[in-house]
Amino acid sequence: MSHLTLARSRGVVLLAVLVIVLLAPAFAGGQPALAGGQKLKVVATFSVLGDFVHQVGGDKVDLSTIVPPGGDAHTFDPKPDQVAQVAQADLIFEIGVGFEPWLDDLYNASGSSAKRVAVTDGMNLIAADHEAGVSDAKPGIHDPHVWHDVNNAIMIVQTIEKGLSAKDPANAATYQANAKAYLAQLAQLNAWVKQEVAKIPPDQRKLVTSHDTFAYFARAYGFQIIGTAFGSLSTEQGEPSARDVANLIKEIKAAHVPAIFAENVSNPKLMQQIADEAGVKLGPDLYTDALGPPGSSGDTYLKMMHYNVSAIVTALTS
């Protein structure tokens, strides 16, 4: 366990103890059955997952999203009000597979009785040790960035619908109808992504990004990951060494990549430096581990995917 992760874990425990002491009467006896007109209290761990839950749950759920738009779930530190949200939740949706390294401590220390649903259960996950250049590629570790493949988003929405319907059967028909409508939009989105990607010749479908977040996108839509600046599945690793940066620049030149991309959850200065030294363009920041703020071009999953794909296609074909 890294010093950063250990410090975060201790901080979560201290916050949780404070919240439990102050709010203990409200938590006593666990979560009661829903009363008439009472909304299901649902927690989503980060903004992309929160959007999926919102699309299915609508106004039938009281939704709290822990990591906000623009936030980095890899390095997030929960706050007291978020400890309380977990403690009072009926249902928690998470990515799992190590994406939320703070969640186990937060959940255990909060005393929550909420059912946890890992939306990646049953998916065809990519093993980290199958991804080139990933420094945290240990056996048994899987890439958690599943949502960049729209097919996986479809599976996530189906899992959310089943979870909400099982926990709140009185509103199951609404959840099922909402999911059906949203799934139709996702199917259209997936077809559009394939259509747009087809504009890039197959030998030019090469990606370089800040950290390793597009493996599922690459597998689904025929891209090759040339490398990443941080060489990691997480942004927790810190700045890469000068040697790692030099090696990535060599790989970019050798692969004749016309553009590389920074991300909305990381500082773009390093990527600009790499682009300058490699003699390539720095494309627009992509939405990766978080949605954008309200009113932005990536404030929903549908808008995020449209923006990312359009940016990638434009940068790699111009």
Among 222-236, 237-251, 252-266, which stretch is predicted with the lowest mean pLDDT? 222-236
Per DSSP, 31 falls in state P
Return phi, psi of residue 281, to 5°: -80, 150
Tell me: pLDDT of 67 over 50: yes
pLDDT in tens, 276-299: 999 999 999 999 999 999 999 999
Q: What is the mean pLDDT of residues 20-35?
A: 45
Please report, rounded to a whole number, the percentage of residues in the chain having pLDDT higher than 70.
82
Write the CA distances from 6 to 19, 77, 90, 102, 256, integer angstroms. Answer: 20, 12, 28, 10, 41
| pLDDT of 27 | 42
Burial (CB < 10 A; 0-12, 13-18, 19+), residue 312, is buried
Q: Which helix (H) or strand (E) holds 255?
A: helix 242-255
pLDDT in tens, 161-211: 999 999 999 999 999 999 999 999 999 999 999 999 999 999 999 999 988
* Interacting residues of 10 by C-beta distance below 8 A, sequence separation 6+: none
Tokens of 66: 């822990």
Work out the number of other CB atoms within 10 angstroms of the CB of residue 8.
Answer: 21
Mean pLDDT calculated for residue range 133-142: 61
Q: Is residue 229 over pLDDT 90?
A: no
Q: Quick check: 139 pLDDT over 80?
A: no
In this prediction, residue 54 has a pLDDT band, given cuts at 50, 70 and 90, of: very high
Average pLDDT over residues 245-273: 90
Question: Among 3.30.920.30, 3.30.70.3040, 3.40.50.280, 3.40.50.1980, what is the CATH number of 3-27+38-189?
Answer: 3.40.50.1980
52 pLDDT higher than 90: yes
Q: Name which of 72-81, 103-112, 213-222 the model is least confident about.
A: 72-81
* pTM summary value: 0.87
Domain boundaries, the chain: 3-27+38-189, 194-317
* pLDDT band at residue 123 using 50, 70 and 90 as cut-offs: very high
For 194-317, CATH number out of 3.40.50.720, 3.40.470.10, 3.30.930.10, 3.40.50.1980 equals 3.40.50.1980
Whether the per-residue pLDDT at 6 is higher than 50: the answer is: no
